[in-house]
Copies of this chain bind each other. A is one copy, B any other.
């Protein structure tokens, strides 16, 4: 943190200088062996205040005590303030939390907090390829890799680590789950030594590295002729190679594996189960306390659209539920929040209701692959709150599983080497909210958004309220002008941005809406594909019946006629028209709102967001017109309000 540069910079993300804050004269005191944390605290205060006036009469005490491993407390004292933690990492979290609360303008005397995370592992997944390109990256290229080598700016890595630690992240997987022949070599020399060096930069911040490994590493890296997880040579390969990894990086967190998925190798190629595959690798890292995160994103991506029996959302449950209880203790099944693939609106994956004896990670996507690509505004916190408060078992919301079956929260990151990390400045809010929510799933989207705004910007009440309103409504706006009512996948194939109503309709990916001249959607009820049968009975009943099915998921679960009457009396078709006309209007209003903030937010943030809101408006109008024209051409039925639908 550069003392001299006490002005807003997008590069600081939310750790911004605050010229409005009144510095407090104080002396920092820290116990034995806490120099790094002391230093972080000092740097943080200097960034906020510009300077620290030393004063013996007020003490900021940093200390370790007998709290839990990651638990911290913030306590105002008579003539001072105490930050305490059950470990160095916990203390560091306390320091960052203290700094963030100061940044919001709170006075030190009023900062009381006692906090511990609900889950042990809060993890960022990078989809960085070693050539420097980021899969689904919308903020530039990798800041780890270039040209198939490690190639990074040490200062940037430290800033990144600080930023991540400040929201409680304690694990980072540095490479894409789609492992190629180059990145498969990360677990071996010469790349391993480079990775160990990088791990050293993250270590002081309490962040442990993971690496995505290739299931076929025994062949690619080990030169074996098989990757069969029950083969003795394969088991030996994983053991020996993992010993090499842990020799270099003793606190390495473990491996992430995408197997039997989208053309990746996996145990099923050898007639083995997912558990066979995961357990063989897990056994190799178990002696070192390592973990295996095993993704459940397994489905047939070579489906024939003519096959109406196979229903992609059912795949993960079918593969993994029968194996409940057969995974080793250090295997964590990594399950996407929904049963399809990070769409704007999906139900919660039925696996969360039905894995009782397996450790789970829930995987979110901060990268806005299907949610606007960091061009269109989309506050994911709003979506995540909906997901976390969804009922998964009688009377139990998803978030109640945190610290129970769910031991880890992971997400695909939205960062890249753009100066502001996330392309769209406002997308920083999603990164911030993810870390905070992974720590404490009880936080609401509104709380998280307000926090981030106050920490990030020095603006007036109009500024704060405007940004808050924009972020809180952004998810609904994006949803309204894109694919309606949970239907999903009306995007351009491969780019996943912009409308293409039939784009996936005849593809191999298993994502079909089957719109005809009178109806749209796939019947996923117990009388249809049977997907609802994967839920506990009460949920199954709710989703099965069109009257009790949440309306926003209507087209996820049901095939519905265009003349179906929605709850407010409109037909489905009119609802689609209305939603698209209104959504595009609201996108225009977003731009207009933001334009009132010129000179109320820093110019670079103003520009970064405005340029994107202008693109969003074009995108929203394109969605509006393509979707409305599509349904108009299918039905021949006019908009009741006579608005322009192109022929």
Instruction: Verify if A175 is at the interface (C-beta below 8 Å from B).
Output: no
Interchain CB contact under 8 A, B633 and A516: yes
Interchain CB contact under 8 A, A517 and B636: yes
Q: From residue A618, how far is it (CB to closest CB) to chain B in Å?
A: 11
Instruction: Verify if A647 is at the interface (C-beta below 8 Å from B).
Output: yes
Please name the 4 residue pairs, one residue from A and one from B, whose CB atoms are nearest each other, closest first.
A516-B633, A517-B636, A306-B646, A502-B502
Q: Closest B-chain residue to A635, C-beta based? A: B517
Q: Which residues of A contact B (CB under 8 A)?
A: 305-306, 308, 499-502, 506, 514-518, 622, 625-626, 629, 632-636, 646-647
> Which residues of B lie under 8 Å from residue A646 when comparing CB positions?
305-306, 308
Give the secondary structure class of A's interface: loop
> Which residues of B lie under 8 Å from residue A635 when comparing CB positions?
517
> Which residues of B lie under 8 Å from residue A499 when comparing CB positions?
506
Q: Closest B-chain residue to A633, C-beta based? A: B516
Q: Closest B-chain residue to A498, C-beta based? A: B506
Q: Closest B-chain residue to A559, C-beta based? A: B647
A-B contact pairs, 28 of them (CB 8 A): A305-B646, A306-B625, A306-B646, A308-B646, A308-B647, A499-B506, A500-B506, A501-B502, A502-B502, A506-B622, A506-B626, A506-B629, A514-B633, A514-B647, A515-B633, A516-B632, A516-B633, A516-B634, A516-B636, A516-B647, A517-B517, A517-B633, A517-B634, A517-B635, A517-B636, A518-B636, A633-B634, A634-B634
Q: Closest B-chain residue to A625, C-beta based? A: B306
> Which residues of B lie under 8 Å from residue A626 when comparing CB positions?
506
A635-B625 Cα distance, complex, nearest whole Å: 21
> Which residues of B lie under 8 Å from residue A514 when comparing CB positions?
633, 647
> Which residues of B lie under 8 Å from residue A516 when comparing CB positions?
632-634, 636, 647
Q: From residue A508, how far is it (CB to closest CB) to chain B in Å?
A: 11
Which residue among A506, A622, A626, A647 has the maximum number of chain B CB atoms within 10 Å of its CB? A506
Which residue among A308, A502, A514, A622 has the maximum number of chain B CB atoms within 10 Å of its CB? A502
Q: From residue A176, how far is it (CB to closest CB) to chain B in Å?
A: 24
> Which residues of B lie under 8 Å from residue A506 when comparing CB positions?
499-500, 622, 626, 629
Q: Closest B-chain residue to A621, C-beta based? A: B306
Beyond A516-B634, A633-B634, list 12 extra A-B contacts (CB 8 Å). A305-B646, A306-B625, A501-B502, A506-B626, A506-B629, A514-B633, A514-B647, A516-B632, A516-B636, A517-B633, A517-B635, A518-B636
